[in-house]
Structure 1
Amino acid sequence: MFVYMNGSFVKKEEAVISPFDHGFLYGLGVFETFRIYNGHPFLLDDHLERLNASLRVLNIEAEFTREESAKILEGILAKNNLKDAYIRFNVSAGIAEIGLQTESYLEPNVIVFAKPLPQPGSMSEKKAVLLELRRNTPEGTERLKSHHYLNNVLAKREAGPDMGTEGIFLTSEGFLAEGIVSNIFWYRDGILFTPAVETGILNGITRRFVIALARNAGIEVREGFYKKEEAEEAHEIFLTNSIQEIVPVTDFSGKSFPGKSGELANLLFAEYSACRETLWSRTQLDGGVQT
């Protein structure tokens, strides 16, 4: 397997970074994970928009365009003989002296990983369980997709190794937040609900895309602060992330839900599936043209 590292494609065993990289020492790094469908990097513009914004927050002097990123992705697909793939696009601060730094990082480490994924099929299902561990607050004004992952790691240990189970965080105030690696939605009385970004969740790319899909279908979407009891009264619950797409829930907090037989989940999944190999951004759903 080959990875991209700072302008070159190298075997994964040869990809090394210095222990003085502040991504390693202090967690100063961010990443995006997304899927390649038949050679197309789905919603790449949206992922790069978030990545670039996060880099600015961390004072890492780097910015990625669609053109240069697509070239990297084409190369890593070719080197690994892939058409459908999982991508992790990772940028860490780079080498600096030990100690906290206030000036900008000028030479970040850019590493792009790829691994094969099967061609997309039907929706999978999961059981959702409430976690005892609470969601930590963002390190800054909003949550970044950063190297700070201890809260998620501890939550996964609590939820257990079963890939068919997703742990759901509450905030310290007891509001629904998000899954360990997902955002959560529920549907009741014709309205789609999801926790607001102001709860401290990651503003997922797939989260935003599904909100746009629902609104384009004429479904009212409400973002807010909700207690678990409100989701427990839903007709459907589903989870979203960029690798697993839309994942209907069969059981939450001991109550049963329709899973992949849910009408809204199927409607949104059909719309999602139709976009996988063409869209660069959710803005194209609103009539925007991006080529």
Structure 2
Amino acid sequence: MFIYLNDKIVKKEDAMISPFDHGFLYGMGLFETFRIYDGHPFLLDDHLERLNHGLEVLNIRHQFHREETNRILQILLEKNKLSNAYIRLNISAGTGDIGLQTASYKEPNIIIFSKPLPPAGELTEKKAILLKQKRNTPEGDERLKSHHFLNNMLAKREIGDSPELEGIFLSENGFLAEGIVSNLFWKKGNFLYTPALSTGILNGITRQFVMELAKKHSLSVQEGHYTLEQAIEAEEMFVTNSIQEIVPLSSFDRHVLPGKTGVWVQRFHQDYSLFCKSLWSRRNLGVKKHERKNNQGN
């Protein structure tokens, strides 16, 4: 397998960075994970927008743009003979002296990993369980998709490696937050509920996309501080992330839910399948399909 490392395509066994990289020493780094569908990087603009914002917060002097990033992705896909793939775009601060640095980082290390994924398929259910491990508060004003992943690792150890389970965090104040690697949604009446960013969650890209889809379907999207007791009254529940897409829940804390038979989960999944091979940003949901294709090189 080949990876991209600082303007070069190299074998993964040959990839090296300095032990003085502050991404390694102090966790000064960010990443985005997303899927390639038949060669198209779904919602790439949204991922890069979030990444670029995080780089400004960490004072890493680099910005990503669609054209150049997609050019690199296509080279990497061709080299690895992939058309459907998992992508991790990773950027760390770069080499510095030992000690906390206040000056900006001007030479970050950029790595892009890929691995094969099957084409998007049928809905796959999971069971959700409430974690004992609480969601930690963000290191700054908001949660970044950063290298600081110990809270998630501890939670994953709590539930084990079963692919059929997702653990759901509570905030320190006892409100529903998010999954270990996902955002949480439930539908009741004409409302789609999801925990607010102020609970300390990551503002997931698929989360934002689903919220836009819900509005297109005239659902009222409600973000707030909710308890487990409020959520288990739901008609349907699901979690989202950019690799697993939309994952219906068949149960939560032993309360039975419709899972993949849910009407709205199926509807969102159909919408996802419709857009995943052409959409660059959730903001283009109202653009007709032929216009999206014409704008792919812009």
Q: 2:19 maps to which residue? A: 19
Q: 2:70 maps to which residue? A: 70
Q: 1:245 maps to which residue? A: 245
Q: Whole-Å Cα distance in 1 between the matches of residues 33 and 273 of structure 2?
A: 18
Q: Whole-Å Cα distance in 2 between the matches of residues 15 and 259 of structure 1?
A: 42
Q: Whole-Å Cα distance in 2 between the matches of residues 234 and 285 of structure 1?
A: 27
Matched, 1:196 2:196: yes
Q: Whole-Å Cα distance in 2 between the matches of residues 64 and 56 of structure 1?
A: 12
The Cα of 1:287 is off from its aligned counterpart by: 4.2
Matched, 1:176 2:185: no
Q: Whole-Å Cα distance in 2 between the matches of residues 287 and 135 of structure 1?
A: 37
Alignment of 1:84-103 (within 5 A): 84-103=84-103
Q: Give the TM-score, by structure 2 length.
A: 0.96
Matched, 1:270 2:263: no
Q: Whole-Å Cα distance in 1 between the matches of residues 33 and 16 of structure 2?
A: 20
| Matched residue SS, 2:168 | strand
The Cα of 1:67 is off from its aligned counterpart by: 0.5
Q: Deviations over 1:192-229 (max 9, x none)?
A: 10001111100000000000001001111101110111
Q: How many residue pairs get matched? A: 291
Q: 1:32 maps to which residue? A: 32
| Matched residue SS, 1:73 | helix
Q: Deviations over 1:235-273 (max 9, x none)?
A: 110000000000000010111001000001001111111
Q: Whole-Å Cα distance in 2 between the matches of residues 134 and 153 of structure 1?
A: 12
The Cα of 1:286 is off from its aligned counterpart by: 3.9
The Cα of 1:278 is off from its aligned counterpart by: 0.6
Q: Whole-Å Cα distance in 2 between the matches of residues 86 and 247 of structure 1?
A: 17
Q: Deviations over 1:63-98 (max 9, x none)?
A: 010011001100110010000000000000000000
Q: Give the TM-score, by structure 1 length.
A: 0.99
Q: Whole-Å Cα distance in 2 between the matches of residues 175 and 128 of structure 1?
A: 16
Q: Whole-Å Cα distance in 2 between the matches of residues 190 and 254 of structure 1?
A: 25
Q: 1:110 maps to which residue? A: 110
Cα RMSD for the two superposed structures: 0.9
Q: Deviations over 1:131-181 (max 9, x none)?
A: 001000000000000000000000000011101100000000000000000
Give every structure 1 segment of 4 or more consecutive aligned residues whose post-TM-superposition deviation is greater than 2 Å: 286-290
Q: Deviations over 1:101-126 (max 9, x none)?
A: 00000100000000000011111110
Q: Deviations over 1:25-68 (max 9, x none)?
A: 00000000000000000000000000000000000010010011
Alignment of 1:107-186 (within 5 A): 107-186=107-186
Q: Whole-Å Cα distance in 2 between the matches of residues 64 and 120 of structure 1?
A: 27
